[in-house]
Chains A and B, each alone.
Chain A
Amino acid sequence: MLCKHYKDALIEAAAPGVTPQRELRAHLAECASCREALAQEQSLFAAIDSGLHAVADMKVPPSLLPRVRAAVDEVAVAPPRWGSTWFALSGAAVAVALVLAGGIRHNDPRTPPTNTATIRPPVEQVIPGRRTPLSSAGLEREDLIPRLPVSVAGNSSSPGGLASSKSMPEVLVPRDQEVLLARYAQQWSSHKRAPLVAQGADEVSVKPLEVAPIQIAQLDVKLLTEDGSK
């Protein structure tokens, strides 16, 4: 009967991080039965906690990201952002391939990242419907679904800009991440590590078109004679 008095106290005391109160401690010191009961109650809480972790810490299936992305694409009924539908579709196809490759690599920490995209600093894309930049403490839409590296028509002032934008995918970043991205890109270029896509592009040797010098026949300049004008 005496031990029943401690039933609630034993239950409370079994929760992790809880120290038994002085009265209970004194009773536990002289009652083996309650010590055993406390130990059992503690093992119950441990079992509950490990069961809860099993419930709560499930691994996210890798199929979720492509599914979400497909769902987002489906609802994105806004006017095509990048010119023709064909252009958008082909860009998306390339990007999905890149992201899928990136997703597989993500599971293997030994594999270095090779998901390649290009950027032309300073990035000055003007995209219809683009949101206003968020503060650095805020969330980016890319935090939700990482943006696919898609080609966009940048307003590069370089004469070679158009040609290279067609051969290389570009990455769009939020305005407040542009500096970081450019710095990251700068590191890569300074390491002289040719990435996957760029390798293929570099191997194509582009020779300037050679045109034979213009042949101009010697002109036979004759003075007008007095006889001819008359």
Chain B
Amino acid sequence: MQELVLNQPVSTARSELVRELAYRVAQGVLRNTADAEDVAQEALLRAYKSFERLRDRSRFRGWLVRISFRLALDRLRSAKRREQRDTLWSQPTHLPPPVTAEDVAASNQFQGHLERALEELPEKLRLVLLLSAMDGYTIEEIAAMVGVPIGTVKSRIFIARKKLAEKLRCYANTIKMR
């Protein structure tokens, strides 16, 4: 029989998307590369072990997103507990606001405030907002992943952004009412 030769593993691209999803969800929560990598590894390993139960692609993605999110939250909480144990007093949470509105978007300070505000969002809102901010996922896909109707995804995104805006408005020095 003739021997044939081929050049690429077939599912490299799909596997990369899966890794990306797990990592980005974890990173979105943890904001730390090493921690996010640990969490993504754990989530992917669990997914690999439980693979037989997760055949349907959309269900699988939802499962992976939830497990990554959950593991990341757990890790964040335990890190915070450690931090509280290790330090007698917490870091000051409020930094002076940026000077001009133009500086806001690029400002590291603003990004810091945004990430803090994101952390304070209810989990349901946070996950949907994170997924919506990722490149390449439609509202329909997010709805399938999270397991809620499309309308719910839309309203969660709307509420989450509004909550962020409320917290960040003072730093952005925007609306000034007469």
A residues neighboring B (CB under 8 Å) = 1, 3-4, 7, 10-11, 14-15, 33, 37, 40-41, 43-58, 60-61, 63-65, 67-68, 71-72, 75, 99, 102, 106, 113-121, 131, 134-135, 137-147, 149, 156-158, 161, 164, 168, 171, 173, 177, 180-182, 184-186, 188-189, 195, 198
Contact = CB atoms under 8 A, between A and B. Distances in A.
What secondary structure prevails in chain B residues at the interface with A?
helix
B130 A144 contact: no
User: Interface residue tally of chain B, by bracket?
Assistant: 35 or more
Contacts of A102: 8-9, 12
Given A40-B101, A139-B56, 12 more contacts: A3-B178, A43-B101, A52-B129, A55-B115, A58-B28, A61-B33, A99-B9, A102-B12, A134-B55, A146-B11, A147-B11, A173-B10
A142 B1 contact: no
Contacts of B165: 11, 14, 41, 44-45, 48
B166 to A, nearest CB: 8
Contacts of A161: 1
11 contacts: A7-B177, A44-B168, A52-B114, A60-B20, A61-B37, A106-B12, A115-B7, A135-B55, A158-B1, A188-B7, A198-B5
B81 interface: no
B144 to A, nearest CB: 13
B68 interface: no
Interface in B1-53: 1-12, 14-16, 18-20, 23-24, 27-28, 31, 33, 36-37, 40-41, 44-45, 47-49, 51-52
Contacts of A186: 4
Nearest to B164: A48
Contacts, number: 224
Interface of B: 1-12, 14-16, 18-20, 23-24, 27-28, 31, 33, 36-37, 40-41, 44-45, 47-49, 51-52, 54-57, 60, 101, 104-105, 110-111, 114-115, 118, 129-131, 133-135, 158, 161-162, 164-165, 168-169, 172, 174-178
A144 B15 contact: yes
Contacts of B104: 43-44, 47
Given A7-B177, A40-B174, A15 B52 contact: no
A168 B3 contact: yes
Contacts of A51: 105, 110-111, 114-115
A127 B176 CA distance: 69
A173 B4 CA distance: 14
A121 B133 CA distance: 44
